[in-house]
């Protein structure tokens, strides 16, 4: 085929994107090799393409990651539609916590995605990495939520949220970015749920696994599993397991003193098997764990007696309430006996306020009585 006769496989998404593309899409006679020098250094591989290190021919100090997808490797209608969605989503996104595209090159045989080269490495550098500190987990969770809030506000469902899809921008390891849109799709107006099953075993939500249909809340379950892995140091469920709420509650209760209360409460809000009760990304950004978690990385320990009284009354009035407690002399009138406020009790107050506010804004859905066994092909075409 002569270059002048070249027809793009992506005319429809390019038309929908319009000015968003902003000169980043290139087709024959333009080629990747005109502007970039691709090395033999492999940076990894995705579900349907390999990623290589490249540099700009105009400035060899600038490095990039080039993902190449060969059309002959795309098998079947579903895989092709997912590639089209990946193409569109990758060109749409532009956020400090989401990796975007620098350029896209299309030829007769392949598609090349040119992305920034993220040199900081994956969030978990090896599979048996130990759990991370509380303060670090707060910062990580906040950046993950900023990425997902942005994606969900645009109607994009990532569908593969997991540690390996979060990469640090550089060696300082302070700026985190969400990557890999191989499985991403968009919730169209009028499509209340998606039904196409995809994701990574161990991270997929119960509603996705059981075929009952899912929304962007499936990403929030995956985020809960990801943060559990980071903060506890192990996976919460088996890869082939579909946990029920009783299983989740018992698991979180078993963690005991090994994890701080605000973090435990946060995980419980993400790992809710009812997606209507699960936090959205925007709601999760306002959870006390994210907002206040770094203010007190080390908690003041309280006795079970004082915590029981606190839960009953909403405040600590006990002179024997905290281990880090009363002055030896008689306290002044109108003051508590603690030398300083109990941080954990303040944390409990914030969590109670968050729960009360969340209950006012959430209406649980009617329980689904039957799994969706089959759907019309016409319905599934727009749900991949």
Give catalytic residue positions.
160
289: left (phi over 0), alpha (psi -120 to 50) or beta: alpha
Grouping H, G, I as helix, E, B as strand and the rest as coil, residue 36 is strand
Q: Count of CB atoms within 10 A of residue 127's CB?
A: 7
Q: Which residue has the tokens 């925007």?
A: 282
Burial of 261 (0-12, 13-18, 19+ CB in 10 A): middle
Burial of 174 (0-12, 13-18, 19+ CB in 10 A): exposed
DSSP state of 28: T
| Phi, psi (rounded to 5 degrees) for 220 | -75, -35
CA–CA separation, 97 and 99 (whole Å): 7
CA distances from 283 to 229, 362, 367 (A): 21, 11, 23
Q: Which residue has the tokens 């895989």?
A: 79
Grouping H, G, I as helix, E, B as strand and the rest as coil, residue 204 is coil
Q: Which residue has the tokens 């978990």?
A: 124
- Residues 6 or more apart whose CB falls under 8 angstroms from that of 356 comprise none
What's the distance, Cα to Cα, between the start and end of the chain in Å?
31
Residue 224 in tokens:
């809960």
DSSP state of 113: E
Residue 373 in tokens:
């066994």
């Amino acid at each position: 085929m002569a270059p002048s006769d070249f027809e793009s496989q992506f005319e429809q998404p390019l038309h929908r994107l319009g000015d968003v593309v902003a000169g980043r899409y290139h087709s024959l006679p333009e080629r990747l090799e005109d502007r970039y020098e691709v090395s033999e250094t492999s940076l990894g591989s995705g579900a349907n393409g390999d990623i290589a290190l490249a540099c700009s021919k105009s400035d060899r100090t600038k490095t990039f990651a080039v993902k190449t997808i060969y059309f002959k490797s795309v098998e079947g209608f579903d895989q092709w539609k997912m590639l089209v969605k990946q193409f569109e989503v990758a060109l749409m996104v532009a956020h400090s916590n989401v990796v975007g595209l620098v350029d896209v090159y299309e030829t007769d045989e392949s598609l090349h995605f040119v992305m920034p080269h993220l040199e900081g490495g994956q969030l978990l550098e090896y599979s048996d990495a130990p759990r991370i500190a509380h303060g670090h987990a707060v910062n990580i969770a906040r950046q993950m939520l900023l990425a997902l809030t942005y994606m969900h506000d645009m109607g994009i469902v990532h569908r593969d949220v997991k540690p390996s899809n979060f990469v640090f921008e550089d060696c300082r390891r302070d700026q985190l970015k969400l990557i890999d849109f191989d499985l991403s799709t968009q919730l169209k107006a009028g499509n209340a749920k998606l039904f196409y099953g995809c994701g990574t075993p161990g991270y997929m939500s119960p509603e996705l696994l059981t075929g009952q249909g899912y929304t962007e809340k499936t990403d929030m379950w995956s985020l809960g599993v990801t943060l559990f892995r980071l903060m506890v140091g192990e996976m919460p469920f088996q890869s082939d397991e579909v946990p029920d709420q009783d299983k989740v509650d018992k698991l979180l209760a078993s963690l005991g003193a090994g994890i701080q209360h605000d973090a435990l409460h946060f995980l419980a809000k993400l790992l809710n098997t009812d997606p209507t009760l699960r936090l959205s990304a925007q709601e999760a950004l306002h959870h006390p764990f994210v907002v206040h978690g770094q203010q007190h990385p080390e908690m003041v320990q309280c006795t079970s007696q004082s915590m029981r009284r606190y839960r009953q009354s909403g405040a600590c009035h006990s002179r024997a309430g905290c281990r880090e407690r009363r002055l030896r002399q008689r306290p002044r009138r109108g003051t508590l006996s603690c030398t300083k406020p109990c941080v954990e009790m303040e944390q409990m107050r914030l969590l109670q306020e968050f729960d009360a506010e969340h209950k006012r804004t959430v209406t649980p859905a009617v329980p689904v009585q039957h799994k969706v066994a089959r759907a019309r092909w016409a319905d599934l075409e727009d749900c991949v």
